[in-house]
Amino acid sequence: MIPPDDLEACRAMIRTGSLSFHAASKALPARVRDPALALYAFCRVADDEVDEGTDKVAAVLRLRDRLDAIYQGRPRNAPSDRAFAAVVAGFDMPRALPEALLEGLAWDSLDRRYATLSELKDYAARVAAAVGAMMCVLMRVRDADALARACDLGLAMQLTNIARDVGEDARAGRLFLPLDWMAAAGVCPDAFLADPVPLPQIRAMTARLLAEAEDLYSRAATGVRRLPMDCRVAIHTAGHVYSAIGTEVARAGYDSITRRARTTARQKLGWLTVSALQTAVLAVAPQSARLHAPPEPEVAFLVQAAARVRPGLARSESLLRVLAQLEARDRGMI
């Protein structure tokens, strides 16, 4: 499905750009691992162009045009685009899923802040849970319960990333902690960004984010049994590796400002072993009722799109609005 040279280029991108995914992907069967590498390479390139480029608005608009070209069957002449186009065609990838990612990156380009935890989950749904839903599509899984739990895992991973990167984001002028939490704690967002220090209030908010993530990891694990047997170890491993990042943040007293939590290769290997045992045990254990919990409201649109509940889902109004805002900025109108 994917030209070998393009696949190797995608593999190289992931090897250097996403160590956690690269480690977990080794446990996937080739029929899923190869398109997953293409998916993650495309997402990685898109994220880097927006996050690291000098003109973030233009980068998002280019990504919109690249997605248009991919869904028209004429991708840009680049390995990640050609490979992702092959995935879109081969798996009937609902357009709403990569466009959710596009919308999240558009929010990044506008340095958007989030008033509540629900708004933060709206963002995490787009930049992370959408990828979880796409991974289910690559496994040929369209079951709504499995999709909801995959989205839980994406939300958990993104909340963990945010908790780990509070200091790094602040030094770059970015703030993801919910503004109502900041207000309740008596912390001025602009003052914190001007001088990011590990205040007790900030540590408490970081702990709160990680507690939310841990509940999502626990619920996400109940959905792994709905995946193909030969995919389960990899997904359990991905959850454990990211959860371990949160554990490292906790060990540092929830100070993710003066230090950045990391996991070692040995730890990742250990989680792979644990995941293999967990998969075997859960295969014969009673199914948890949490599998059937409704999706978080912020990810319901992703579950509907991937499950083909709304197969003709048009480009969302919120995406159209943010793209129009970016177009106006690009033309210097605002």
Name residues whose C-beta falls within 8 Å of residue 153's C-beta, 6 or more positions apart in sequence.
129, 132, 216, 217, 220, 223, 235, 238, 239
CA distance 131 to 226: 17
Q: List, for residues 156-181, the tens digit of each pLDDT value.
A: 999 999 999 999 999 999 999 999 99
The range of the structural domain enclosing residue 115 comes to: 4-330
CA distance 286 to 281: 10
Q: List, for residues 176-217, the tens digit of each pLDDT value.
A: 999 999 999 999 999 999 999 999 999 999 999 999 999 999
The two tokens of residue 245 are: 């990042």
pLDDT value at residue 26 = 76
CA distance 281 to 241: 19
Closest CA to 44 of 67, 16, 75, 2: 16
Q: In terms of pLDDT, which residue wins out, 147 or 271?
A: 147
Sign of CA dihedral 106, 110, 111, 114: negative
Closest CA to 210 of 257, 242, 188: 242
CA dihedral 112, 118, 124, 125 (to 10 degrees): -120
CATH code of the domain covering residue 29:
1.10.600.10
The two tokens of residue 61 are: 């608009």
- Across the chain, what does the average pLDDT equal? 91
- CB 299, CB 27: distance < 8 Å: no
Q: List, for residues 79-137, the tens digit of each pLDDT value.
A: 999 999 999 999 999 999 999 999 999 999 999 999 999 999 999 999 999 999 999 99
**In the predicted model, is pLDDT for residue 152 greater than 70?**
yes
pLDDT value at residue 190 = 97
**In the predicted model, is pLDDT for residue 313 greater than 60?**
no
- CB 159, CB 216: distance < 8 Å: yes
Structural domain count of the chain:
1
Closest CA to 120 of 57, 193, 179, 207: 179
Mean pLDDT of 222-250: 94
CA distance 106 to 64: 10
Q: How many CB atoms lie within 10 A of CB 28?
A: 24
**Class of residue 112 by CB neighbours under 10 A (exposed 0-12, middle 13-18, buried 19+):** middle
The residue assigned the tokens 């499950």 is 307
CA distance 264 to 275: 16
pLDDT value at residue 309 = 65
Rounded to 5 degrees, what are φ and ψ at 66? Answer: -65, -40
Return the SS3 of 314: coil
